[in-house]
Amino acid sequence: MVIINIEVKMRRMKKMNKDHQGQEYVKIPGSERNLVPGSQKSSPVLPDEEMSVTVLVRRPSVASLVEKVGTPPFTSSRHLSREEFVAAHGANQDDLKKVEEFAANHQLSVKEINVAAGTILLTGPAAAFSKAFGVELANYEHPDFTYRGRTGHVQIPQELADIVDGVLGLDNRPALAIFKFLTIR
């Protein structure tokens, strides 16, 4: 088990980049984006374009809670208050503070923090987001739509690697909607 963890950390270390201040950056696993087939880069995003981005912060596992609620026979149980849920399953205050400091250091504003959900909503100019997360944002044209996008991985400082699970909203490409229609007989 220890050998596997060391190997994972070494692989992550090899993937590190440095920003302009010499700070170590790592790729967020699963954050890689490719060009939408049929689209082409049309222009860079305006540096002062205002954006909102949601940062997902790690939270304790809710597996035991889900297991308890989802295991038959269903028994009546006391529901947790919001405060009790946050205390047991919300994001860690120290983790949230580290993300807030990171945002402030990159000229990004914290608009909202949801401790229970483990999310921080950041606002700021596109140039600040590009710099903060090591991405190049551009406008893309597709025959059916236009979007702000990026290619490659989102990157974060090494010190946030075990805190930040994802960054949503840098890219506003349309999501693929798949509908399954049921026929009632």
Q: Could you list the pLDDT tens digit for every one of the 185 residues in the chain? A: 444 444 444 444 444 555 545 679 999 999 999 999 999 999 999 999 999 999 999 988 766 555 655 556 556 667 778 788 777 788 899 999 999 999 999 999 999 999 999 999 999 999 999 999 999 999 999 999 999 999 999 999 999 999 999 999 999 998 765 555 555 65
**What pLDDT score was predicted for residue 14?**
40
List of residues 6+ apart from 63 with CB closer than 8 A? none
In whole angstroms, give the CA distance from residue 121 to residue 112.
5
- Res 11: pLDDT: 47
Residues of the chain by 3-state class (helix, strand, coil), percent to 5? 30, 30, 45
Which pair of tokens denotes residue 117?
Answer: 């959900």
Burial of 50 (0-12, 13-18, 19+ CB in 10 A): exposed
pLDDT, residue 63, reads 62
Name the nearest CA neighbour of 36 among 144, 153, 169. 144
| pTM of the predicted model as reported, rounded to 2 decimal places | 0.77
pLDDT value of residue 85: 78
The domain locations on the chain are 24-60+92-168
